[in-house]
Amino acid sequence: MIIKSITLTNFRNHSHYQMECDNEVSLILGANGWGKTSILEAIYILTRGKSFRATDKDIIKRGTEFYRIELNYTNGITTTATYDGKAKIFTITDQKTKRLPTKYKYPLILFVPSDLNLISHSPSRRRDYFDHIFSQLDEKYSSSLSKYNKAIKQRNELLKQDQVTKESLFSWNLLLAKYGSTLSDKRKSFTTEINNRLTPTYRSIAENQDEIILSYSTEVTTLTESAYLKMLEQTTERDIYLGHTSFGIHRDDYLFNFNHQPADTSASRGETRSIILALKFIEANLITEVLGKPPIILLDDVFSELDDTRRHCLVENFKNNQVIITSVESI
């Protein structure tokens, strides 16, 4: 689908804002703090179902009681989201729902400046980054991840209580083992697919013979559901002492090697940016191949972080996608 227009009411610092989108490239110009990222955030909510950076109560413009956003597509479909301080309601063709229906979700590639620091970021940041990619590629992955996160939250809350027992943890252990083993298998498979493409894509950007390897680091490799459950039970006493779950996929990481050395210490700033660009291109290609839909590309002030060569690569690789760009200056 192609976005035709978007309208914001009481959204962040926008009392009212309307934007007509180009089928190919739309540029949002404005000074820092003007609210450019908020426009991308609104698009994200109406295409993915939730914000990428805040809860709904943080989004309402100060001094107002609700926010409303509307997205019109060129095929005639209109989606809206309204939040009144208590609940968010989506409306699609006069049908109201508390969640954006899966069939109305549309894949996005969101590129923000902090992504360029992914390699040196924390393991949790890298997990979130790849979870976002894998969730778009596989709805079952998204569902399993949501159920795993709810179970780990409940188990950790129990572990902080004074009278916690192995019996009270058992039902949560079952859920963590079920969804954890499933997610680990999917992460391994998706990582392998990305890794197979990473070096060739990187070389097409950098025009050299460097080798990039992405590896999936986990304690759960090859564990069956029953073996996963056993490990949770074996670490129960340690978990009670620590007050949190010390084993599982929530501790996974993704490691980058640059010419057989850790990329966070061996790759230059420019080489790191080329690796991240390669990841974005692979993400877009996988989404197109797996879902049969070219994703919408949201670029939030990243052009200022790239040199001319990498800017050209960005434009060239996304020439078949609808692209919406924010910037503080003309491009």
Q: What is the distance between the terminal CA atoms of the chain, rounded to a whole angstrom?
A: 25
H helix or E strand, kind and range, residue 3: strand 3-11
Question: Which domains, from first to last, does the chain contain?
Answer: 3-106 (3.40.50.300), 122-292 (1.20.1050.90)
| The predicted structure's pLDDT at residue 57 | 93
For 61-77, the pLDDT digits (tens) are 999 999 999 999 999 99
Could you tell me the pLDDT band of residue 329, with boundaries at 50, 70 and 90?
confident
Question: How would you class 188 by CB atoms within 10 Å of its CB: exposed for 0-12, middle for 13-18, buried for 19 or more?
Answer: middle
For 78-91, the pLDDT digits (tens) are 999 999 999 999 99
Say how many residues make up the chain: 331
The pTM for the full model equals: 0.91
What residues contact 65, with CB distance under 8 A and at least 6 apart?
84, 85
Residues 125, 126, 127, 129: is their CA dihedral positive or negative?
Answer: positive
Backbone phi and psi for residue 268, each to the nearest 5 degrees, phi listed first: -75, 175
What residues contact 326, with CB distance under 8 A and at least 6 apart?
27, 28, 29, 30, 36, 37, 39, 40, 299, 300, 301
H helix or E strand, kind and range, residue 83: strand 78-83
